[in-house]
Amino acid sequence: MNSTTTTPRLAARADGLVGSVIDSSTSLLQKQKHDIVRFAMGSPAAEAVPTKLFSEIGAVVLGPDSAHAFDYAATEGDPGLRAQVLQMLSGTGEATTPERLTITSGGMQGIDLACKLYVDPGDLVVVESPTYTNGSATVMSYGGAVLEAPVDADGMVVEALADQVERAGRTPKAIYTIPNFQNPSGVTMSLTRRQQLLELARRWGSVIIDDDPYGLLRFQGEELPSLRELGQGESTVFSVRTFSKVLAPGLRVGWVDATPELAHLLINAKQAMDTCTNLPGQRLVEGFLAGGHLLEHVAGLRTEYHRRKVAMQAALVEHFGDVATWTDPDGGFFLWVTLNDEAADAQRLFEVGLAEGVAFIPGPAFSPGGSFGNAFRLCFASTTPERTAVGVARLRTAYDRVINEIR
Ligand SMILES: Cc1ncc(COP(=O)(O)O)c(C=O)c1O
């Protein structure tokens, strides 16, 4: 018998699996024993998760006689939840129809499905720069070649995109955007740019992956029509939505809204991924929506997250006013800090910050090309104003240590 072992060869696509600094920070932080103010994860505030309502609803829909609620669900989503989502959207700019709706395992599965359907190895895919790490990572997991489009205070700089694409020598297969309160920058794409982006996508035959987990969480400024609304149901727009930021990420319940021609492919693709979205989670969300709790809940979130953003900005003025600038989000969870000193290394700041008791995500995590070495993302949503003041003060101590190291 031959005693040598040949190592199984990995698929070529394994090279494209880049992982997520954001997700890895969850386990890194869980291992720390000292007090840390956590600005790293994009999680709702613990106090904002409607646990009391969930346990009341759960006592009914997941009670002793509910074995069926732990069964497999229909791939396109449990009928009760589908009906509630349609009802929730009716009368809004996002109103949709059953043929367009697929319930997913969170927003991430929506992004994955979009890439699975549209991105072949080598295809050009536009992403914002900076962008949501897991979004660009999904593109790359399908072998997509990422083109980073800069972002300013009005979102993706769409005016420059045609030139960028011309230089790339081919048109994009897909354009991945987070139009509202973008992760990580917190900026919102202007109406003009939304319209321009749609025009470019139509001309190029690109699909826009319209990822909007934070849209309901606007706490200031004027409501803008979504790309879904502006696209009026055309196949150019593939919309990804989730309950993770408004209810709770652990539910893993979201949906996609896409042209009905894709319905059977979405089902085929989802069946090859996870068969169905977890039914207990769907039943909890259904019960929450059916109970009419959403509007009041979201109104409370908007007020509280606004208060928290203002508190974070005040702390930044106090501790970073002389050394950094930051964005002013109209909603959502995040703001983006850029250090004036280009030599100030956000990755080193992360290490020193962790020792000082504060965590955030360094800028390069949000750029496949590793840009934004002197920038970082702060989540203001999950921390009380009092803790935010402590965390930003610690961050300044860490910053001074880092600057002393390079001087
Ligand atoms: C822009 C964006 N898209 C998608 C997701 C993923 O959502 P979910 O947790 O529902 O998979 C997130 C979560 O951070 C996000 O910020």
pLDDT in tens, 105-143: 999 999 999 999 999 999 999 999 999 999 999 999 999
Ligand 1 centroid vs 107 CA: distance in angstroms? 5
Of 105, 109, 181, 242, the residue with max ligand 1 atoms within 8 A of its CB, to mutate for a pocket test, comes to: 242
How long a stretch of residues is the chain? 407
User: Is 236 near ligand 1, meaning CB less than 6 Å away?
Assistant: no
User: Is 185 near ligand 1, meaning CB less than 6 Å away?
Assistant: no
User: Is 244 near ligand 1, meaning CB less than 6 Å away?
Assistant: yes
Instruction: Give the C-alpha separation, 148 to 104, whole Å.
Output: 27
pLDDT value at position 1? 56
Please report the atom of ligand 1 found closest to the CA of residue 132. Answer: 1
ω before 50 within 30° of 0 (cis)? no
User: Is 249 near ligand 1, meaning CB less than 6 Å away?
Assistant: yes
User: Is 155 near ligand 1, meaning CB less than 6 Å away?
Assistant: no
Instruction: Give the C-alpha separation, 128 to 108, whole Å.
Output: 17
> Whose CA is closest to atom 13 on ligand 1?
42
User: Is 107 near ligand 1, meaning CB less than 6 Å away?
Assistant: yes
Residue with tokens 């991945």: 176
User: Is 178 near ligand 1, meaning CB less than 6 Å away?
Assistant: yes
Instruction: Give the C-alpha separation, 103 to 115, whole Å.
Output: 17
Ligand 1 centroid vs 353 CA: distance in angstroms? 25
Q: Which residues of 164-190 are buried (b: 16+ CB within 10 A; e: fewer)?
A: ebeeeeebbbbbbbbbbbbbbbbbbbb
Helix pair 21-31, 133-141: axis angle to 10 deg: 120
Instruction: Give the C-alpha separation, 196 to 199, whole Å.
Output: 5
Instruction: Give the C-alpha separation, 111 to 209, whole Å.
Output: 7
Ligand 1 centroid vs 242 CA: distance in angstroms? 7
Of 103, 245, 274, 382, the residue with max ligand 1 atoms within 8 A of its CB, to mutate for a pocket test, comes to: 245
Instruction: Give the C-alpha separation, 38 to 262, whole Å.
Output: 40
> Whose CA is closest to atom 5 on ligand 1?
107
Q: Which parts of the chain sit beneath pLDDT 50?
A: none
| Nearest of 298, 302, 313 to residue 389 by alpha carbon | 313
Ligand 1 centroid vs 167 CA: distance in angstroms? 31
pLDDT value at position 31? 80
Please report the atom of ligand 1 found closest to the CA of residue 110. Answer: 11
Of 115, 138, 238, 244, the residue with max ligand 1 atoms within 8 A of its CB, to mutate for a pocket test, comes to: 244
pLDDT value at position 227? 98
